Chain A
Amino acid sequence: MKQNHRRTIRFKLNGRPAITEIATHETLLEVLRRDFSLFGGRESCGQGLCGCCTAIVDGIAVSGCLYLAAFVDGAEVTTVEGLASGGKLHPIQESFIANCGFQCGFCTPGFILMTKELLERHPQPTTDEIRHYLSGNLCRCAAYPDIVRAVKAAAGEHNR
């Protein structure tokens, strides 16, 4: 345990400047939860296989449970809490509600962030593209058909 290896990181978090002190072995996920009370990212499988811990770093979705916090020094980080603006939910969030794209909701922020990345790169994805893009996100309640519909509906909204 290298308790003494600590450092200060500065980054942009959901559009605002952020600063905190971390240990070098700490992950982005635990720092977001502990120091910023951002609980939308969650640790489930702990191996980067389920997508519950997804955060977006410089426009790329990463597994927050594996991504070291030290690496976001100077970067731009977006979490699910950063999607709404002006008190209005992001169209993807609205679409997940309208299409019942969740049950227990534990995996939902990860799906929403991954959908955001998907639609930025493929604004009009086919069902196959959606399934492949989101195949790294797991939902034990198995809301998959609803999630696909939510993504499609959000894509329609995205292109307006």
Chain B
Amino acid sequence: MAKIIEPPPKTERQAPPTRQVKRSVRRLESKSKVDGSAEYIHNLTLPGMLYGKIARSSIPHGKILSIDPGAALALEGVYAVITGDDIRRLIPDPYYGPAFHDQPILALDKVRYAGEPVAVALAKDPHVAEEAADLIAVEYEPLEAVFDEVQAAKPGAPIIHDVLKPATTFPDLKHLQGRSGTNVALSAHVRRGDLAQAFKESDYVFEQTFRNGKVIHAPLEPYVTVGEMAGPDGLTIHTASQSPSFVRSELSRLLGWPENRVRVRTAFLGGGFGGKLYIKLEALVAACTLLVRKPVRIALTMEEQFYTITKHGATVRLKTGVRKDGRIVAREVEVWWNGGAYADIGPRVTQKSGLTSSGPYDIENISIESHAVYTNEPPAGALRGFGISQVVWAYESQADVMARALNIDPIDFRRRNILREGRPHATGMPMTDIDIDAILDRLAERMEWNRPFDRGSATTRRGRGIAIGIKSCVAPTTSVAMVNIYGDGSCGICSSTVDMGQGSDTAMAQIAAEILGISTESIRVVHPDTDVTPYDMATLGSRSTYHMGNAVRRAAEDARAQLLRMAATVLKTGEGDLECRDGVIAAHSGARVTFHDLMVARFAMQAGNIIGIGSFIPPYEKPDHETGQSRQITPFWMLGGAGAEIEVDTETGRIHVVKLVNVGDAGSPINPDIVERQLIGAGTMQFGFTVFEEMIFNEGQVVNASFADYKIPGMLDVPDQLSGEMVEVPHRQGPFGAKGVGETGMFCVSPAIGNALYDAVEVRITEMPLTPERVLRALRRAQNRPLGSD
């Protein structure tokens, strides 16, 4: 059973709960998703459109000596070949990025990773464009390259960017402007207490280094963008993007245009997972469209996804001081993030995941150093969790090591150390609206932790493990929403939140429906279109339910207030006597009026609009630059836990996950079914990252860039028993108590499986993924009969 905590008094007026929120409404778009009619930008072609195919760098680091489009242009049907120099004529400083303006729209003068876009061939026939892209001849002078994040951060490493170019819009990055001679784009720090003294007073000190390989998002709808002119001086970009508002502002900045000349719209996304954030193809398509003044479409293949954006590989060094009684008193963390050749959102991953890398623990003495490092690999960005699963892998593997060394039960060990309500987080912010004990309770219950456990037989050994993790929701960010009542009384929501499968359309409709007293299913959610829908920072970081949910709530409250004022006149009563319920406005006397009749009364016919506006930006205090301390670092904390029960085949090293329990704090869920499915979906994704997904590089070249060689979990791979479990801790500022939960299921799966592996075979693997080969090698080393090449 869910443990419910009574929320403290509400700080904002909220309607009494009715049937619309906390109800497992089916997704509003269900029919369109089973009959093939759901709109994706993937489906879009325009009259007279050209297809673009990208010619990519064949080396990881080098100067471009020449680009010869001759053979490509000679091919029948080729319209144009575009290079970086063409783009520079249109956009003098064609470098983009959300944190650093370091990524050229097409490579200029040099290339920094194998697979980097160098030129584009345009043709009416996509097959011709593809053939032409292969015919573009590029000559390079190779430069020494660096791939490992720790090596790249050291003095003397080959320098990838001559000078750092932070986006000047961020005051906290200003000090990096003009820095040269380093691959470290940014270092973030958290400092608290007296670390040296605390280590001296510790009874035990544990120090280990953990690594994560690189993986990719692999949304099944590949990245796609279509551009077209909108009159002589406007541009429309149709794009499979999680951040239409950002795309508009970044394109405007690049072009030197006001934002109102750039329109960015999207549709349903066939998955996103953080890959479709910020600028991916949009700047390139915008430039091509403006250069040829015709509609241009660029759609990537699955192979090209591997050259576009990845999750960060990371190296995490952890040093932890513990007392005999199991209390952690000191923790020193250093993280190196392999950001690839361009920063994308890596510096923010570095800061945000850095600041929680000491874990969900109450530790008095902390030092965290988190470094964003450039390497000659494809750029790394946000992937469902924003770096959290990398640091949880480290600190929860180490928690298991420490619990075992101290002979304390792993759940008990965590109970002795977890943060509780009111206690300060490593950043100094007092914890609010959390209950980690409830997560541990649920894990213990679902894992039947205190019952005898079958340890397996000779070659099939069984084990189990748990882990918990914490994330701070990104801050500060803004969401704006409109709720529109049309002339016939029907309702539309205008929101720039992108529904990429997480069910945000349905959740937003539930929130507005709750306020307006109408059915969720009757509401239409207008998809993001920057000409129509208001600003939203982006659909990322599990922020939409909380931020856009609050904006939609306020917009609906605004619309309701206007409706009640109108109804008070029509029904000749006071507004306080009225409420919205069951699709009408009703007075206590029993008199009622429909929205439609109100509109007719107000506009003399079926006409007009009632527009409610809501905007939301939670309070935030910028952390101190040196110490990372802040009284308000995040609007809400995300807490998760996972438990895994596994079988290990000691002859092959294969891990078979029998049971995977994923627990997440969802606040008070808007749609319980969808929340559980988010936990299961995220858990399955991270399961793939844990046991087999890994991008393999050879001298900077991705050698497994296809589903033939890079496996994602299929039906036969997933754990036999898989569950997503909500713990309900209502959040006092969340819409109807809700928190975001889209990423929570990612946090803890890897260390839960890694800890189960140790439990089964007493082998500790510190590097992900836990492939059969890696497990078998470790097993054989432990048995003192290493495999040949070890």
Contacts and interface: CB of A to CB of B under 8 A. Distances in A.
A100 B562 CA distance: 37
A34 B45 contact: yes
A57 interface: no
Contacts of B127: 1, 23, 25-26
Interface string A41-69: 11111110110100000000000000000
Given A105-B270, A140-B218, A142-B685, A49 B708 contact: yes
B713 interface: yes
A104 B706 CA distance: 21
Given A80-B35, A140-B220, A140-B271, A1 B301 contact: no
Given A3-B125, A132-B716, A135-B714, A107 B220 contact: yes
A17 to B, nearest CB: 21
A140 B218 CA distance: 7
Given A105-B29, A107-B220, A141 B301 contact: no
A42 B75 contact: no
Interface in A134-149: 134-148
Contacts of A33: 43
A44 B708 contact: no
Chain A CB within 10 A, most for which of B26, B31, B712, B714: B714
B714 A141 contact: no
Contacts of B302: 44-47
A63 to B, nearest CB: 12
A82 to B, nearest CB: 9
A100 B26 contact: yes
Contacts, number: 163
A46 B306 CA distance: 14
Contacts of B128: 1, 3
Nearest to A102: B33
Given A44-B221, A105-B268, A39 B715 contact: no
Q: Is the interface of B mostly helix, strand, loop or mixed?
A: loop
Chain B CB within 10 A, most for which of A52, A84, A104: A104
Nearest to A96: B34
B56 to A, nearest CB: 16
Interface string B6-49: 00000000000000000000110111111111101011010000
Contact of B220 (A94, A112, A132, A138): A138
B673 interface: yes
A13 to B, nearest CB: 13
Contacts of A81: 35-37
B681 interface: yes
Contacts of B126: 30
B201 to A, nearest CB: 46
A47 B680 CA distance: 27
B706 A47 contact: yes
B712 A140 contact: yes
Contacts of B220: 42, 44, 50, 52, 104, 106-107, 138-140
14 contacts: A43-B42, A47-B708, A49-B707, A89-B35, A96-B34, A100-B27, A100-B677, A103-B681, A104-B268, A104-B501, A105-B38, A105-B268, A140-B685, A147-B715
Given A106-B271, A144-B715, 14 more contacts: A1-B128, A39-B36, A39-B42, A45-B302, A52-B220, A80-B34, A100-B27, A104-B270, A105-B34, A130-B715, A137-B715, A140-B712, A142-B684, A145-B718
